[in-house]
Amino acid sequence: MEVSAGAHEHSGGSGEQEGRSGGSRLWAVGRIVVAVGLAAGLTVAVVGLGWASAWLVYHWAPYRLVHVVDVIVLLVFLLLGIAAAVAGTRRPWRLSVVSSTVFSAGWLFLELCCVFMAGRQALHDRGEPVPAVVVEVSEGHWQSSTFAEVRLADGTRHANVPVGDEHPRPGDRTTVTLDPEGLAQPRLGPPPGPPGTTWRNVSLAATAVGAAGLGTHLAGRQGPVLFRSPRPPEDTPPPGYRRRPARPRRRLRKP
């Protein structure tokens, strides 16, 4: 009897260990699936929003309006994401500060790249070169931050025109490329070539890395709740344990 009881206890202990190892493997696989799904979902959402911004600039909304709205909204999301990550460091759903920062910054630059590329593509496809005279030049620290104000032959003025590769001076006669639909930002010089994709790809890679970090941290915090096997109640006897039947109580007879 003692041997059989020991065997039952040994088999019960091994079964419990196998159940725990199986539950841990299931939790690990589930965590990977959830992390990949979250990272892919975040990346696809950001790419879709970037495509929508580019479509607006090319077909419907003015470049400057979309640019300003994107900067304001994404900066707010960046600050809120970092604040939530810092405030949630001691909570079960805490976010990684680094992952949140990389994801938000990559998202911001990706949106700006999409808007810029859409405006340049519009000028490349339908831009019209128009003679103009340079009225004023606002020089920046870099060539990309230098703008000019030009005056057309009919007296119309256009301010904050990017100079591109040109180096104009006030009074110079030059050419400015205008969008007939008035959506893309004017550009000094002839119609530009197609936009490059280097910075867009770099921003997309940073967004994907940040999304992978966020997905990993979120899956790690929510994984035990979703995939860990439920614990038995505290009063549940261990495997292999058998309760002895209760003996009937003897009633004492009164003398």
255 residues of the chain, pLDDT tens digit each: 444 444 444 444 454 555 455 556 666 677 788 888 888 999 999 999 999 999 999 998 888 888 888 888 888 877 877 776 666 555 444 556 788 888 988 998 999 999 999 999 999 999 999 999 999 998 877 777 789 999 999 999 999 899 888 889 999 999 999 999 989 999 999 999 999 999 999 999 999 999 998 888 777 765 444 444 455 555 555 555 555 666 666 665 655
pLDDT at 142: 76
- Cβ(97)–Cβ(140) under 8 Å? no
- The torsion angles phi and psi of 47, rounded to 5 degrees, stand at -65, -40
State the pairing for strand pair 173-178/187-188. antiparallel
In order, the DSSP letters of 153-165 are TTS-EEEEEE-TT
Dihedral sign of CA atoms 72, 73, 75, 76 in order: positive
Q: Kindly list the distances between the CA atom of residue 170 and the CA atoms of 43, 144, 166, 167, 175, in Å, as whole numbers in the listed order.
A: 46, 18, 13, 10, 14
The per-residue pLDDT for 221 is 62
Q: How far apart are the first and last CA of the chain?
A: 42
User: pTM to 2 decimals?
Assistant: 0.71
Report which residue type is found at 109: F
pLDDT of 1 = 43
Q: Is 188 helix (H, G, I), strand (E, B) or coil?
A: strand
Token pair for 124: 């490349």
Instruction: Please give the backbone phi and psi of residue 225, each rounded to the nearest 5 degrees, phi first.
Output: -75, -35
pLDDT for residue 244: 62
Number of residues in the chain: 255
